[in-house]
Chain A
Amino acid sequence: MECGSLLVVAGVMLWYDRAVGQEQKQYDVIVVGGGHAGVEAALAAARMGMETLLVTMNLDTICQMSCNPAIGGLAKGHLVREIDALGGEMGLATDLSGLQFRVLNRKKGPAVWAPRAQCDKKAYQFQMKKVCERQERLTCAQGEVVAVTTEAGRVTGIETALGVRFAGRTVILTTGTFLRGLLHFGMTRIEGGRAGEASAAKLSESLKAIGLTLGRLKTGTPPRLLRRTIDFSKTERQDGDEPVPYFSHWTDELFHVEQEESGNDTPKRVSAYPPNSVLAQAGGQVPCHITYTTSKTADIVRANLHKSPLYAGVIKGVGPRYCPSIEDKIVRFADKQRHQLFLEPEGINTEEIYINGLSTSMPYEVQVALVQSVVGCENAEIMRPAYAVEYDYADPTQLTPWLETKVCSNLFLAGQINGTSGYEEAAGQGIMAGINAALRVKGLPPLVLGRDQAYMGVLIDDLVTKGTSEPYRMFTSRAEYRLLLRQDNADLRLCRVGYEVGLLPKRRYEKFLAKEAAINAELERLRSTKDGSLTLEQVLKRPDVRHADLPQPETPVPEDVATEVEVIVKYAGYIERQQAEVERMRQMEGMVIPDWVDYDAILGLKTESRQKLKRIRPQTLGQASRISGVSPSDLGMIMIWLKARGGK
């Protein structure tokens, strides 16, 4: 923040709106949409010193978890740790509102460990709302945005359904599933962005008018059941990990809020859980339960397939393969005897239970039968029915690697509008869009994270380079440098970046520097201390040796430092190999392809490559090399053409 405030160039300016005829404030950054992308974008911009406006259709549903009230998991948990290291909010909000925390893959190597938390849906959302409302320079307003206003290929602001215009130097659109959202309950169709909420019907037209191409995607959500109608004794209990594996690098701040103020004589008592957190309220972690479908479930699906809008061909949008509806699962994996389902509490003050894995678009009466065919749910009652939702998205190859549209400058898109799925993917794009909008206002070059630097880098590069034909979800297998992008080193990778752009506060940065120094000091000690003929580093390389087994230094090493040191030493050979690979790619990443490149004038490009290059307009040769079908020869031709034209 300190760094940012020095760089602030934009004060608050007055802007005269001819259409409405009143003087209005001009914002630096306007964010349309108050979901997971929008909130991170707005917070990042405001924290970087921008006068920021967040407009959402309903202030009561800021950061609503429309689907599963869970954060994290493989690759997604990595994303949250990265957002946290840059100075984002998602990790902290999860730590305060989580009711069950686990680290997945603990039995595998640390590169693929991943934190996951089951959250209290309302607590999460109120926590985020509170943070937004208390954020300096951030204004939260309710309204339906119907148009983006532009002038000469540059965004100037937005207009709401009430005819109010807001002027903005930059605009970030994070519309989620709301653009022409259409809900399917069996053959019943209702316009809406989410059950019980209106869709944004008009904004799509405005975006098309600007020149953006929109497509259609589909996603779905399972029913919510009434807790007391479920027989949990027939299911398998799944507990959280102890001690609680929090997400944030800065949980000390959460604990710090409420020091014991009374009792000056008694030693300070550190509470077991962050004050006011859901865990503190619940007095500990809340379990989830695992159950299964039965052969009856399969029979019901098969008998009613014609009632599913997916199978009847009513739904045109493409759904995600990794989150199939129960119809899909039964049809495509016919020989599978049963499918695993999770019963997850939606919060500690609600009786609603989310039945994870039973997403469907069947009509209500079939849903009832389906639910009651599940083990332990024989008498379960549905509180909210499942549904599928179709919505507009903008093919993300229309964006630059800093998420700005190519057709309209200063207009940024983030989240589900870019064809992604998941809160974490949305938040990751949100924070990057917020940072880049702020950098634009400040007149600074954009921030693009590399594929070797962050999952966020992989995510955005995949989107803008390859586009997506189904809702894009992050997997660790999408990262070619998986061993470098670990959840344990997100701070080592990104805190410096967060601080330098003016987002990560100085106190957090200093905490990070101290940790980094401690890691280096401990590595140095292991290299220089001998145990017999071997250095401690060599001893630690043995598979069965842990850091705790080594002779310890005089001042004990904090646990996170010890963990990091252990990972660095044990993975050393593999990390080096990946880094060598990164170095090879770096030269290509450094070769910028200027805007004025004329692919039609470059001799010898294959037709297919030429078309793709013209459409995607990669920023670097590295990005060009990842476009499917672009060959090394094509790259050579581009390189030569540029050298010949651009001079040295």
Chain B
Amino acid sequence: MLGDTIAAISTPLGEGGLAVVRISGPQALAVADRCFEPIGKASTIPSRAHSHTVHFGRVVLNDRVVDQVLLAVFRAPRSFTCEDTVEISCHGGPLPAKLVLDAVLAAGARLAEPGEFTRRAFVNGRLDLAQAEAVADIIHSKTELALAVANEQLAGRLSRRIDQLRNDLVNAMSHIEAHIDFPDEDIAPETREELLVRIGRAIESMRDLLRTAAEGKVLRHGVRAAIIGRPNVGKSSLLNRLLGHDRAIISPVPGTTRDTITETANIRGLPVTLIDTAGLRQTADSIESEGVQRSRAAASSADFILQVLDSSQPLTPEDELYLAEFADRKRVLVFNKSDLPAQLKTAPPTSAPCVCVSCLTGEGIEQLKDAIKDVIWAGSNSAAVTEIMINSRHESALKRAIEAASNAAESLRHDIGIELTAMDLRIAIDALGEVVGKNFTDDLLDAIFSQFCIGK
């Protein structure tokens, strides 16, 4: 749909130090006004700002400051989409960007469809034919992805829950609609109390779902990767490298890490939960032995394994033992310490991807990230990933549905008019229907005719 105001995170999820949330459409400036507070004399609210200016300030959601940001204003037609556009640069990482997007959506923007900014740019004459074909390719691939996502989703629990909620509302609605459309039938309409209870229950369930999403549980789940290997091959160093900061204590003393450490890193836009484990070895130390136990437990619960080897030393019998132990697991072999002369001459006989890195210098880390991404996308883990990617879509739909259903309950409570209650319920059902891809009228008529004997 053209003509309304859309928003989305325009940078890959959490990649890099900055993320950009882009708003485009006739209400872009008004939307930004509602969630942005300028700081300092040089800054102003977006609707008063000149085109192509940048303003410092904070983004606010429900009276809470979400992030300090830079906000750029591009007035139509001098923007990518030829519409009024606002770009908010916030701190990187999945959470700040998501919260800023939440604030923007709460201020009245709609979550953009995949490729929608580009589509608008194209429709408004920004792109030439060659570019257009390229865009078509991109949207094509995104469509395929979206289709895959949709299929995964149908099996997904969240979707099922939303579908069920929607059905509850359709049923409530069918009572109202039968009451409106068939006044001569002896249909005993549900009492207002009964309807209010139904709608109230639906709103409560939607709020529950939304809370789960807001707590970022889904985000933190991500894909789980266990870092395993003998002691002192550099597992904790690898964790710190992938995180981009020092989380684990590292020392030359073998067995420094005695318990598992869990942290989420952003790898090529995907949240990956890294589990640093105690080195695998036979030990008399009861604490360390418990740690080793936990390492094995972590490895078995993980979606895949980063198996670390020391390339500055020849393969030990222990190495060979552990290589065999995890042979049937999905894994990436990481040969650490590439800054030292290589002693490990022959690669172990495995089909798993092997990457040489130096956690000391950072060499090879980018290649490792690529390998990790490939492993995640290659297999059945994608369900977990896709659920995260479309989560914000659910959220936006749920928010609209809650608002509309609350309006419906309100008008019902004050007896303003059953047809007005119906209008809001319809909006709520439509919002949920967008997520599960269902058509309003067909379902409603099905519900009416299966519940009521209508036959005048």
CA distance A482 to B444 in the complex (A): 15
For B136, give its contact among A356, A475, A631, A641 (CB under 8 Å).
Answer: A641
The secondary structure that dominates the B interface is helix
For B419, give its contact among A111, A359, A631 (CB under 8 Å).
Answer: A111
A476 touching B455 by the CB < 8 A rule?
no
- Known A-B contacts A585-B1, A637-B139, A640-B135; the reply to A475 vs B419 at CB < 8 A is no
A477 touching B3 by the CB < 8 A rule?
no
The proximity string for B residues 422-455 relative to A, scoring 1 for CB distances below 8 Å and 0 otherwise, is: 1100100000000001011110110011000111
Q: Could you tell me the distance in whole angstroms from the C-beta of B137 to the nearest C-beta in chain A?
A: 7
B453 touching A336 by the CB < 8 A rule?
yes
Binds A, one of B29-37, B174-182, B296-304: B174-182
Residues of A within 8 A of B114 (CB): 633
Binds B, one of A29-37, A259-267, A322-330, A515-523: A322-330
Interface: A443 (CB within 8 A) = no
Interface: B119 (CB within 8 A) = yes
Instruction: Specify the chain B residue showing the minimal Cβ separation from A322.
Output: B454
B180 touching A603 by the CB < 8 A rule?
no
- Known A-B contacts A112-B180, A482-B419; the reply to A644 vs B454 at CB < 8 A is no
The proximity string for A residues 310-340 relative to B, scoring 1 for CB distances below 8 Å and 0 otherwise, is: 0000000000011111101100110010011
- Known A-B contacts A584-B3, A603-B136, A636-B113; the reply to A321 vs B449 at CB < 8 A is yes
Residues of A within 8 A of B (CB): 73-75, 104-105, 108-109, 111-112, 321-326, 328-329, 332-333, 336, 339-340, 342, 356-357, 359, 475-478, 480, 482-483, 543, 574, 577-578, 583-585, 587-588, 603-604, 606, 628, 631-634, 636-637, 639-641, 643-644, 648
A324 touching B444 by the CB < 8 A rule?
no
Instruction: Specify the chain B residue showing the minimal Cβ separation from A104.
Output: B183
CA distance A232 to B379 in the complex (A): 75
CA distance A513 to B55 in the complex (A): 53
Interface: B283 (CB within 8 A) = no
Q: Which of B119-156 contact A (CB under 8 A)?
A: 119, 122-123, 125, 129, 132-133, 135-137, 139-140, 142-144, 146-147
Interface residue tally on B, bucketed by range: 35 or more
B418 touching A109 by the CB < 8 A rule?
yes
B180 touching A477 by the CB < 8 A rule?
yes
Q: What would 5 A/B residue contacts be, using CB atoms closer than 8 Å?
A: A321-B445, A322-B454, A340-B185, A475-B177, A483-B420
Instruction: Specify the chain A residue showing the minimal Cβ separation from B4.
Output: A584
For B184, give its contact among A104, A336, A606 (CB under 8 Å).
Answer: A104
B177 touching A477 by the CB < 8 A rule?
yes
Residues of A within 8 A of B125 (CB): 648
Q: Nearest 8 A-B pairs (CB), nearest first?
A: A604-B140, A109-B417, A333-B453, A321-B449, A340-B186, A633-B143, A477-B177, A104-B183
Residues of B within 8 A of A632 (CB): 1, 113, 116
For B147, give its contact among A105, A359, A482, A606 (CB under 8 Å).
Answer: A606
Interface: B456 (CB within 8 A) = yes
CA distance A578 to B139 in the complex (A): 31
B147 touching A357 by the CB < 8 A rule?
no
For B122, give its contact among A325, A328, A643 (CB under 8 Å).
Answer: A643
For B420, give its contact among A109, A332, A476, A588 (CB under 8 Å).
Answer: A109
A108 touching B180 by the CB < 8 A rule?
yes
Q: Could you tell me the distance in whole angstroms from the C-beta of B115 to the nearest C-beta in chain A?
A: 6
B132 touching A476 by the CB < 8 A rule?
no
A640 touching B445 by the CB < 8 A rule?
no
Instruction: Specify the chain A residue showing the minimal Cβ separation from B421.
Output: A109
Interface: B327 (CB within 8 A) = no
Interface: B416 (CB within 8 A) = yes
- Known A-B contacts A578-B423, A633-B113; the reply to A603 vs B140 at CB < 8 A is yes
CA distance A584 to B437 in the complex (A): 20
For A633, give its contact among B122, B132, B146, B441 (CB under 8 Å).
Answer: B146
CA distance A381 to B132 in the complex (A): 74
